[in-house]
């Protein structure tokens, strides 16, 4: 690697190596529903003591990405040449997995991360990169706001405070009148754990994740935050053929447990 080193990443930006670790390892070694050759290649290219920091890989991020890809591919069937925006893209390779040759894709992240991404995954006409703090909202002025857009926001919103999440989602709804927004949530118990200082391994303390939301509050929170939203879906895991997905699917139906699980949520805004 050239000028930018993965080891110079810290705080929330360092977490992109955690998701890469999980996705690439599961793609490489799992007997699994999820394949990501571009992530496997990156994993070999980016030297890092992955297990020392993040522990043994688990299936979580492959599971989320599988759901994200499924929803995006479904949307692309009716919007093959429109626009996809990935917020907090890190080194995610969703474009490599789902790009169809005609969709216009924009990946947005903080400057250090975009510099690293440019070195490892060169930008192209179809897949452009923008260096921006997504909370600032400046990025939205640089993109076409009139055409339908799919906004993929994986592993990001939990690192923001609830008011910041509300502001970001409201900004998207106001700027993009025809938007499908997909994001993942964590439960309040896990959020509290990170706020109290959660060491994933002896070497790695997970950055605080101030925004957690219980299953029972998801719909009502988004209807309240986003009056323009005309549809909200919370995805079951059970459609994925993996025992952890089946277990989560079962747990999501058990009253005492369902509020203690992570979810993938889709909100559709159509204010045209
Ligand atoms: C857990 S990683 C997820 C990366 C990628 N989406 C994935 O699934 O592999 C979180 C990402 O959010 C980015 N991020 C954090 N705060 C941000 C902000 N305010 N604006 C833009 N990106 C941000 C980090 O730099 C990092 O790349």
Q: Is residue 53 part of a domain?
A: no
Q: Which pLDDT does position 229 carry in this prediction?
A: 72
Distance 159 CA to ligand 1 centre (A): 9
Q: Which residues sit with their C-beta closer than 6 Å to ligand 1? A: 12-13, 15-16, 19, 88-90, 92, 109-110, 113, 133-135, 154-156, 159
Separation of CA 21 from chain center: 15
> CA-to-CA distance for 177 and 162, rounded, in angstroms?
22
Compute the average pLDDT of residues 174-186.
Answer: 94
pTM of the entire predicted model: 0.95
Structure tokens at 156: 């990001």
Q: Is residue 149 part of a domain?
A: yes
The domain tally of the chain equals 1
Q: Is residue 78 part of a domain?
A: yes
Q: Is residue 51 part of a domain?
A: no
CB 114 within 8 A of CB 88: no
The mean pLDDT value of the chain amounts to: 92
Q: Which pLDDT does position 52 carry in this prediction?
A: 96
Q: Is residue 41 part of a domain?
A: no
Q: Whose CA is nearest to atom 27 of ligand 1?
A: 90
Q: Angle 60-78/11-29 helices, nearest 10 degrees?
A: 90
Ligand 1 binding pocket mutation candidate from 12, 53, 206 (most atoms within 8 A of CB): 12
pLDDT tens digits, 33-91: 899 999 999 999 999 999 999 999 999 999 999 999 999 999 999 999 999 999 999 99
Which residues form the domain of 141?
59-270
Within 10 angstroms of residue 28's Cβ, the number of other Cβ atoms is: 16
> CA-to-CA distance for 191 and 186, rounded, in angstroms?
7
CB 188 within 8 A of CB 211: no
Q: Which pLDDT does position 5 carry in this prediction?
A: 65
Q: Whose CA is nearest to atom 14 of ligand 1?
A: 88
Which residue has tokens 């592993």? 155
Q: Which pLDDT does position 235 carry in this prediction?
A: 81
Q: Whose CA is nearest to atom 4 of ligand 1?
A: 90
Ligand 1 binding pocket mutation candidate from 10, 18, 109 (most atoms within 8 A of CB): 109
Q: Is residue 24 part of a domain?
A: no
The minimum-distance atom of ligand 1 relative to the CA of 133 is: 20
Q: Which pLDDT does position 272 carry in this prediction?
A: 66
Own/partner long-range contacts of 50-55 (Cβ < 8 Å, ≥24 apart): 50/17, 50/21, 50/25, 51/21, 52/201, 52/203, 53/17, 53/18, 53/200, 53/201, 53/203, 53/204, 54/17, 54/18, 54/21, 54/22, 54/200, 54/201, 54/204, 55/200, 55/201
Q: Is residue 240 part of a domain?
A: yes
Q: Which carries the bigger pLDDT value, residue 223 or residue 101?
A: 101
Output the domain CATH number for residue 193. 3.40.50.150
Q: Which carries the bigger pLDDT value, residue 6 or residue 226?
A: 226
């Amino acid at each position: 690697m050239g000028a930018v080193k993965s080891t110079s990443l810290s705080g929330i930006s360092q977490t992109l190596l955690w998701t890469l670790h999980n996705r690439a390892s599961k793609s490489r070694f799992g007997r699994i529903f999820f394949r990501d050759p571009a992530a496997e290649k990156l994993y070999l290219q980016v030297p890092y003591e992955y297990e020392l920091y993040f522990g043994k890989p688990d299936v979580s991020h492959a599971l989320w990405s599988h759901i994200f890809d499924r929803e995006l591919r479904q949307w692309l069937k009716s919007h093959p040449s429109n626009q996809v925006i990935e917020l907090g893209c890190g080194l995610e390779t969703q474009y490599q997995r789902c790009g169809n040759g005609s969709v216009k894709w924009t990946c947005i992240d903080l400057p250090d991360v975009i510099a690293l991404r440019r070195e490892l995954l060169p930008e192209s006409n179809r897949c452009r990169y923008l260096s921006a703090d997504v909370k600032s909202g400046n990025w939205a002025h640089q993109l076409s706001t009139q055409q339908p857009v799919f906004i993929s926001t994986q592993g990001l919103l939990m690192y923001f405070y609830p008011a910041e999440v509300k502001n970001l989602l409201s900004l998207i709804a106001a700027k993009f009148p025809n938007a499908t927004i997909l994001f993942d949530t964590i439960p309040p118990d896990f959020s509290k754990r990170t706020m109290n200082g959660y060491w994933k391994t002896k070497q790695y303390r997970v950055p605080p994740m101030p925004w957690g939301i219980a299953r029972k509050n998801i719909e009502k929170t988004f209807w309240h935050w986003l009056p323009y939203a005309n549809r909200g879906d919370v995805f079951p895991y059970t459609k994925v053929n993996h025992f952890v997905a089946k277990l989560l699917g079962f747990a999501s139906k058990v009253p005492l447990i369902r509020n203690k699980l992570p979810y993938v949520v889709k909100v559709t805004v159509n204010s045209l």
